[in-house]
Amino acid sequence: MSFSGGLRLTDLNDYITPGQECIKPVPVKKTSRSDGSQIKVDTTGDYFEVTKDGSSTKLEAAQITLNDCLACSGCVTSAETVLITMQSHTELVSVLDENRKLHNEGRGDEAKKVVVTVAPQSRASLALKYGISTQCVAKRMTHVLKTMGVDYVLDSAFGRDITLVESAREFVRRYRASNGHVGDGQSLPVLASWCPGWVCYAEKTHASVLPWMSTTRSPQQTMGAIVKHYMAKKLQTSPDRIYHVAIMMCYDKKLEASRDDFYNDIYKTRDVDCVVTTGEFDRLLNETHVDFTSAPEAPLDSLNNTDSVHASAGTSAGGGLEYILSYAARELFNIDVSPGLVAAVGKGEAHPLFEVKLVRNQSDHREITLLDPTTKQPLLQFAAVYGFRHLQNLVRKLKSKRSVYHYVEVAACPSACSNGGGQLQPEDPSPGAKKQWVANTERTYAQDTCKLPEDSVREFIYEWFGPHGLDSDDAQRLLHTQFHGVEATANPLGVSW
């Protein structure tokens, strides 16, 4: 097994249970007698069983993959630490080297098209480190990656906008199906499912909450569907002839990409072939001797004919709470409140239609309530819950049916995705410096111009799915997923130390 060179253990105040016991089943050959054999390790690190007569047999190493990690209930952290070689920047370099070799041999038609999608949170982290705007980061990344041999560099915010629109539609459907009643069935509350750390935690330890999960794909996996379906058709190639890399803020995104739900059985390919974290990309720059501070800029690739990056109103969790609350207020109650207004209220701006509460004075657990303009009674009760400390409290409320929320925006990391485990870190390792760095990353993330998601993707949706748009069977198939509870077969807390 290979580990990512960028793996770090940081900010473990939301640690749940240690990986004391791996439940991956490994067949063990047993004999009826003991002959006093011993285990020997040679200079290469290989293991051998040596018998009394001196003969030796090489032992086979147990193999653990990302899928095994997803199927295990033995450990949960905010960033799973078992990472394999196929999920690192070295694999991207390997694919680009192979493409270059094929072109040099006159076999360029056998080379794969390489598409890289970049998360806005990763751009913000790089912008903070190098002291430039996120727009400059996007253009410099485009130049650097295309110089390396990448064919297309896309903004994953485009996938986020589609995810936001479909998530809002899903919420309204489920609200109407339950007449707005929370906890009576499986419709409400709706729990955001963009964060793979939260999804893994729920699947492994709290399967009872899975029916409340939003089934809309995360932005990363929506981009996977766009690249492997829409772009493949546009490029007149098959999905397996495209190699899709996502540059993300979080190690858990590697786990998400490896889920069987996002695997194409017909073409034997994943929607996202490789996830590279922000830190791994920065390491790639160092390894290839690229001076990012003076790198040239290149025009941005775009799926909607835009030449700039843009944001959605809200936090680095993606803006789900703000947009869905705005959309639902309009669709369900004919109340016009923009996502930007909801975001401002969430940051402390007073408004007669909203009540905001910081649970236990913690910014990582916020409640935002939309009030009836006439009676001032609650119409919609939303919450943002970041970090495992608050997630556990949320789960307890859900299980005891004490939760009143219609929708919850969830992130496993404290301070949401600006604080993802794959993000760049300050040179000063002190807690105070780290907290300030995360806050600065969040501010950098929010500096991009905000656009309404539906304005950004409306034409594209009808081009992709036809006249029925998001109501088409293809849209419902490609933009939704499912979740799988994992039955615990081992109790890590029962392991003897």
What pLDDT, on a 0 to 100 scale, did the predictor assign at position 88? 82
Q: Which two tokens stand for residue 362?
A: 């913690």
Ramachandran region of residue 83, left (φ > 0), alpha (ψ -120 to 50) or beta? beta
Using CA atoms in the order 306, 309, 313, 315, what is the torsion angle rounded to 10 degrees? 150
Closest listed residue to residue 416, CA positions, set 398, 391, 449:
391
| H or E element at residue 456 | helix 453-465
Cα–Cα distance for residue pair 121/418, rounded to 1 Å: 6
What pLDDT, on a 0 to 100 scale, did the predictor assign at position 176? 97
Asked if 245 and 114 touch (Cβ cutoff 8 Å), the reply is: yes
Quote the DSSP letter at residue 241: G
Each residue's pLDDT tens digit, 170-200: 999 999 999 999 987 789 999 999 999 999 9
Q: Which two tokens stand for residue 11?
A: 């900010």
Q: What is the average pLDDT score of the chain? A: 88
Sign of the C-alpha dihedral computed for residues 132, 134, 139 and 141 taken in this order: positive
- Distances in Å between the Cα of 433 and the Cα atoms of 125, 176, 366, 429, 440 are 15, 46, 24, 7, 10
Asked whether the predicted pLDDT for residue 71 surpasses 60, the reply is no
Residue 77 CB contacts under 8 Å (≥ 6 apart), including other chains: 12, 15, 16, 19
Each residue's pLDDT tens digit, 15-44: 444 444 454 445 555 555 556 677 777 766
| Model confidence band, residue 319 (pLDDT cutoffs 50, 70, 90) | very high
Written as one letter, the residue type at 366 is R
What pLDDT, on a 0 to 100 scale, did the predictor assign at position 395? 94
Cα–Cα distance for residue pair 198/204, rounded to 1 Å: 10
Residues 285-291 have a mean pLDDT of 96
Residues 307-332 have a mean pLDDT of 95
CA within 13 Å, CB half, 249: 32
Asked whether the predicted pLDDT for residue 12 surpasses 60, the reply is no
What pLDDT, on a 0 to 100 scale, did the predictor assign at position 61? 64
Cα–Cα distance for residue pair 424/418, rounded to 1 Å: 10
| Model confidence band, residue 82 (pLDDT cutoffs 50, 70, 90) | very low
* Neighbour tally for 224: CB within 10 Å: 28
Quote the DSSP letter at residue 53: T
What pLDDT, on a 0 to 100 scale, did the predictor assign at position 482? 97
Is the bond leading into 189 cis (omega within 30 degrees of zero)?
yes
| Model confidence band, residue 73 (pLDDT cutoffs 50, 70, 90) | very low
Backbone angles phi, psi at 456, to 5 degrees: -75, -35
Each residue's pLDDT tens digit, 145-161: 999 999 999 999 999 99
Greater pLDDT, 29 or 463: 463
Residues 128-141 have a mean pLDDT of 97
Residue 80 CB contacts under 8 Å (≥ 6 apart), including other chains: 69, 197, 200, 251, 252, 255
Each residue's pLDDT tens digit, 338-370: 999 999 999 999 999 999 999 876 889 999 999
Cα–Cα distance for residue pair 122/281, rounded to 1 Å: 9
CA Rg value for the chain? 24
Residues 115-143 have a mean pLDDT of 97
What pLDDT, on a 0 to 100 scale, did the predictor assign at position 1? 35
Cα–Cα distance for residue pair 424/59, rounded to 1 Å: 39
Asked whether the predicted pLDDT for residue 422 surpasses 90, the reply is yes
Cα–Cα distance for residue pair 113/409, rounded to 1 Å: 35
Residues 314-337 have a mean pLDDT of 97
Cα–Cα distance for residue pair 305/47, rounded to 1 Å: 57
Cα–Cα distance for residue pair 410/21, rounded to 1 Å: 27
Residues 239-265 have a mean pLDDT of 95
Cα–Cα distance for residue pair 216/63, rounded to 1 Å: 32
What pLDDT, on a 0 to 100 scale, did the predictor assign at position 47? 73
Each residue's pLDDT tens digit, 365-398: 999 999 999 999 999 999 999 998 899 999 999 9
* Strands annotated E in 44-147: 47-50, 56-58, 113-118
pTM of the model: 0.84
Q: Name residue, tokens 């960033």.
A: 79
Cα–Cα distance for residue pair 100/149, rounded to 1 Å: 8
What pLDDT, on a 0 to 100 scale, did the predictor assign at position 98? 97
Closest listed residue to residue 323, CA positions, set 342, 310, 349:
342
Asked whether the predicted pLDDT for residue 454 surpasses 80, the reply is yes
What pLDDT, on a 0 to 100 scale, did the predictor assign at position 52? 75
Cα–Cα distance for residue pair 54/63, rounded to 1 Å: 28
What pLDDT, on a 0 to 100 scale, did the predictor assign at position 185? 78
